[in-house]
């Protein structure tokens, strides 16, 4: 019996073979294809699919890291390419990517993997079903992401230009999705980093020290400002709250003042904000025209947005993305919830009646690109799904996706005991936010419904 196993995933895409091939060849394609539940880090890439080019990644099998190095061995432009494992967790691995014509304006994307597991027949017996399920989850995600990205790229208006975009917070939960989305769409990205710049696409800044190499941003077309202290990590001590405020307000002011002084200013600056702007508002539907709320986060968001005033005064179009609860297996609120939910020891938080306005990173990335291109978008823009849910609905849906019971609630006093002040502002507060400006501007969400969004980011 052969120890080599074949796996095939095939999908029909509304794009020509050459368009699908180019999608795979652009910078950022690898990162776009890594599922958010997989811990994979790109170590080195030759940036090519042609014969002899190599890619090296660091992956984790449970808590154990391993190096996976592959080389491209076959290449036919606009049709197919093949990579094989040189070093990694498999006894052998050959991956063929094919783009097959399937009628006018469409093709069939076929991934064919031939692999063998270590330890021969024993490895296949013990780990075979697990590896098969892992590949099925991964390649469903890859094909779904490819289709969504291509649809957005092919729907772009004729003549919609590519841009040079500077990004702060490029390695964060949102930035790590946005940067490859932009580069894969043909844009050039410059990352603002807090350490010394080590590459031509890096720009030095240190918001804590009040320093910015503004000259390196001369001539960029756009800036996306995402950097800020993680509000969901650790209890909100007085020092933590000060860091939250200063990282957002001080960092935005530093960037705004530096950009406003440039000879060639960016045409647009997109600054992250948050739905915390609205405070705790019960079941009231909140649009961008709604008044600010009260509380720590509302005060921070108001000052955060005002810190960009120097840009407005300089004639730069400024967009404030009021981002909701970001759902990703890579981090944030959802990742923190997964362990108790998978153990079946989770349930409603507080009353369960509070509204959670949520969004997935893929829709944020597409929304940012939309805001960069649409000159009509300005000021606050609610970056949330059009379908906010109550905490009880969220709990029930996540339990269904994970196939776990959700019968152990966390009363409000218990939440405050565990999380401190953070519980009132993040977990127990209710904000039923509507993305009115995005909908009016014609933006379409890829994941508007909670269950589909959770299945996408969790591979379920």
On whether both 197 and 115 belong to a single domain, the answer is no
In this structure, the answer to whether residues 128 and 221 fall within a common structural domain is: no
One domain for residues 221 and 131: no
264 and 338, same domain (yes or no): yes
Q: Answer yes or no: is 351 within a domain.
A: yes
pLDDT at 157: 65
Q: Are residues 185 and 97 in the same domain?
A: no
Angle, vertex CA 160, rays to CA 158 and CA 163, nearest 5: 155
- pLDDT on residue 229: 86
Q: Are residues 9 and 122 in the same domain?
A: yes
Q: What CATH number is associated with residue 67? A: 3.30.530.20
Q: Are residues 106 and 217 in the same domain?
A: no
Task: Based on the fold, state whether residues 80 and 183 are members of the same structural domain.
Answer: no
Q: What is the pLDDT of residues 393-414, one digit of tens each?
A: 999 999 999 999 988 888 888 7
- Packing angle, helices 120-154 and 17-25, rounded to 10: 110
Query: Would you state the pLDDT for residue 103?
Result: 86
pLDDT at 25: 92
Give me the number of domains the chain comprises.
2
- Residue where a domain terminates, one of 120, 154, 188: 154
pLDDT at site 418 = 66
pTM flag (> 0.85):
yes
- Classify residue 159: in a domain, yes or no: no
404 and 266: one domain?
Answer: yes
Which of 128, 154, 180 is the last residue before a domain boundary? 154
- 123 with 197, same domain: the answer is no
93 with 57, same domain?
Answer: yes
Instruction: Enumerate residue ranges in the chain where pLDDT < 70.
Output: 1-2, 157-160, 418-419, 421
DSSP 106-168: -EEEEEEEEEE-TTHHHHHHHHHHHHHHHHHHHHHHHHHHHHHHHHHHHTSPTT----EEEEE
Read out DSSP for 301-341? Answer: HHHHHHTTHHHHHTT-EEEEEEE-EE-BTTBHHHHHHHHHH
Domain that holds residue 320: 164-458
Task: Judge whether 84 lies within some domain.
Answer: yes
- In degrees, rounded to 5, the angle at the alpha carbon of residue 151 between the alpha carbons of residues 146 and 154 is 120
Do 319 and 371 have their domain in common? yes
């Amino acid at each position: 019996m052969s120890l080599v196993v074949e796996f095939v995933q095939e999908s029909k895409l509304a794009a020509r073979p050459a368009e699908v091939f180019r999608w795979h060849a652009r910078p950022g394609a690898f990162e776009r294809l890594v599922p958010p539940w997989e811990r994979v880090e790109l170590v080195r890439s030759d940036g090519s699919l042609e014969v002899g080019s190599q890619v090296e990644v660091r992956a984790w099998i449970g808590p154990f890291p391993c190096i996976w190095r592959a080389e491209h061995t076959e290449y036919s432009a606009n049709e197919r390419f093949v990579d094989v494992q040189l070093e990694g967790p498999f006894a052998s691995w050959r991956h063929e990517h094919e783009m097959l014509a399937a009628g006018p304006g469409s093709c069939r994307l076929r991934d064919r993997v031939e692999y063998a597991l270590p330890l021969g027949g024993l490895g296949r017996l013990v780990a075979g079903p697990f590896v098969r399920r892992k590949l099925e989850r991964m390649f469903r995600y890859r094909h779904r992401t490819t289709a969504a990205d291509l649809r957005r790229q092919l729907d772009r208006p004729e003549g919609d230009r590519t841009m040079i975009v500077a990004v702060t917070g490029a390695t964060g939960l949102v930035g790590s999705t946005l940067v490859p989305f932009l580069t894969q769409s043909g844009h050039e990205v410059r990352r603002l980093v807090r350490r010394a710049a080590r590459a031509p696409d890096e720009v030095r800044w240190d918001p804590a020290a009040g320093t910015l190499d503004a000259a390196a941003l001369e001539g960029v077309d756009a800036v996306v400002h995402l950097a800020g202290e993680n509000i969901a990590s650790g209890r909100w001590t007085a020092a933590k709250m000060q860091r939250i405020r200063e990282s957002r307000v001080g960092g935005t002011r530093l960037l705004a003042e530096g950009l406003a002084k440039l000879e060639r200013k960016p045409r647009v600056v997109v600054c992250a904000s948050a739905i915390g702007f609205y405070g705790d508002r019960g079941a009231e539907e909140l649009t961008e025209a709604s008044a600010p709320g009260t509380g720590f986060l509302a005060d921070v968001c108001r000052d955060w947005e005002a810190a960009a005033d120097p840009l407005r005064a300089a004639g730069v179009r400024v967009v404030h993305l009021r981002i909701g609860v970001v759902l990703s297996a890579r981090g944030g609120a959802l990742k923190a919830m997964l362990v108790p939910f998978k153990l079946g020891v989770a349930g409603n938080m507080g009353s369960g009646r509070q509204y959670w306005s949520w969004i997935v990173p893929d829709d944020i990335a597409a929304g940012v690109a939309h805001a960069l291109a649409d000159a009509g978008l300005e000021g606050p823009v609610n970056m949330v799904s059009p379908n906010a849910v109550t905490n009880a609905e969220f709990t029930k849906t996540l339990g269904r996706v994970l196939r776990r019971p959700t019968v152990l609630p966390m009363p409000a006093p218990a939440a405050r005991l565990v999380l401190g002040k953070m519980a009132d502002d993040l977990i127990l507060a209710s904000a039923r936010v509507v993305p009115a400006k995005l909908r009016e501007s014609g933006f379409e969400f890829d994941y508007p419904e909670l269950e589909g969004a959770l299945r996408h980011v969790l591979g379920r």
